[in-house]
Copies of this chain bind each other. A is one copy, B any other.
Amino acid sequence: MKDERLKKQIDFILEIDKLKHIYRQTLLTDGSRHENDAEHSWHLAMMALLLCEHATEMSIDMFRVVKMVLIHDLVEIDHGDTLCYDDEAIRIAKERERKTAERLFCLLPEDQSEEFRMLWEEFEQQATPEACFAASLDRLQPLLHNYKTGGYSWKKHGVTRDKVLRRTEPIRESSTFLWNFVQELIQESVARGYLNRN
């Protein structure tokens, strides 16, 4: 019984190795290549350890935030990353990701499958302060990467300031302090010509 449980866990661990092949729109900060989802998820987990103290909600559960950012992109394993500023593409992607979640989490023992699914749902719906903060990190990190690479993916996809402001909305909800920082960063990006005003 315990052997069967371990077999499922190992199968899942091997399966998720594929996340290292899912490349994102953003470049690494030195602009040398695109970032992949596994690296991105690690980076967000590190950011959670450092930045959770800035959440407006005082009693935030940091470990829950870390778990969410570690697993939040697993559902991209089958079909890849979707441009976060294309509404129709996002709608289609959401459906596909639900199917991947179904397939992927079912590989695990039932209790862990249930835990991962619930964490992922919580993140998707931004239903809790932890999920909202996890989403904030997921918005802040590519903003930093875009800033460091002269607005690479903003320029490539014609993304404007208003779209970035809308996309970073969870940050406003979860941390007034980080939201102020983000507004300055966006303002500076416009001033430097990394990001178009309209």
Contacts and interface: CB of A to CB of B under 8 A. Distances in A.
Interface string A90-109: 00000000000000000010
A20 B45 contact: no
A47 interface: yes
Given A39-B20, A49-B70, A112-B50, A144 B63 contact: no
Given A42-B41, A70-B49, A177-B2, A144 B16 contact: no
Given A16-B46, A66-B66, A6 B38 contact: no
Given A6-B177, A50-B108, A43 B63 contact: no
Interface stretch (A28-36, A128-136, A157-165): A28-36
With most chain B CB atoms within 10 A of its CB, the pick from A12, A35, A63, A148 is A63
Contact of A46 (B18, B36, B63, B70): B70
A175 to B, nearest CB: 10
Contacts of A45: 42, 45, 66, 70
Given A50-B112, A67-B49, A148 B39 contact: no
A126 to B, nearest CB: 21
A76 to B, nearest CB: 14
A102 B85 CA distance: 41
Nearest to A111: B53
A29 B177 CA distance: 42
Contacts of A13: 43, 46-47, 50, 141, 144
A17 interface: yes
A14 interface: yes
Given A17-B28, A20-B39, A38-B38, 17 more contacts: A2-B177, A9-B50, A10-B144, A13-B46, A13-B144, A14-B148, A16-B46, A17-B30, A20-B28, A21-B28, A39-B42, A42-B45, A45-B66, A46-B70, A46-B71, A63-B66, A66-B66
